[in-house]
């Protein structure tokens, strides 16, 4: 999880190099954090995880499981996905180098296993939206 940060060399040397993170949660809000462009660069070039969840965008990210047109989330997805219709199953998008973009769904608790979304998630009573 990136926290409130911009681009740092630690994203490559520590997060990718030492820990080898398979899942990244990166802020794309562009206020005291990386914006969509910086976050996409960090994911593609520095962290290189198998999956990424964009977060902290300070706006409605999705509607009906699809990124809201013109949103920071839509911009982030555009920067990471090569086609005009990259949407896959379970709100998972596949970007360059096989990086899965897991869309945040307001009001929905997401659960992911290393191979993708897991149908065996434990139910949680507290609902914490991603956006």
pLDDT over threshold 60, residue 81: yes
Name which residue leads in pLDDT, 28 or 118: 28
Question: Residue 90, SS3?
Answer: helix
Per-residue pLDDT, 39:
93
pTM of the model: 0.71
Is residue 126 assigned to a domain?
Answer: no
Q: Domain tally for the chain?
A: 1
Q: What mean pLDDT do residues 11-16 have?
A: 87
Per-residue pLDDT, 59:
82
CB 80 within 8 A of CB 74: no
Is residue 14 assigned to a domain?
Answer: yes
Per-residue pLDDT, 94:
57
Model confidence band, residue 128 (pLDDT cutoffs 50, 70, 90)? very low
Is residue 81 assigned to a domain?
Answer: yes
pLDDT over threshold 60, residue 102: yes
Structural domain including 93 reads 10-117
Is residue 127 assigned to a domain?
Answer: no
């Amino acid at each position: 999880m990136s926290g409130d940060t911009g681009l740092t060399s630690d994203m490559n040397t520590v997060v990718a190099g030492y820990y080898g993170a398979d899942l990244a949660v990166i802020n794309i809000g562009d206020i005291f954090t990386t914006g969509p462009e910086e976050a996409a660069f960090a994911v593609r070039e520095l962290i290189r995880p198998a999956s990424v969840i964009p977060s902290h965008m300070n706006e409605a990210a999705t509607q009906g499981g699809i990124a809201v047109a013109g949103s920071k989330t839509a911009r982030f997805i555009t920067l990471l996905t090569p086609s005009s219709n990259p949407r896959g199953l379970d709100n998972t998008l596949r970007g360059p180098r096989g990086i899965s973009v897991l869309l945040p769904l307001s009001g929905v608790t997401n659960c992911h296993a290393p191979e993708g979304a897991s149908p065996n998630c434990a139910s949680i009573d507290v609902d914490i939206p991603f956006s």
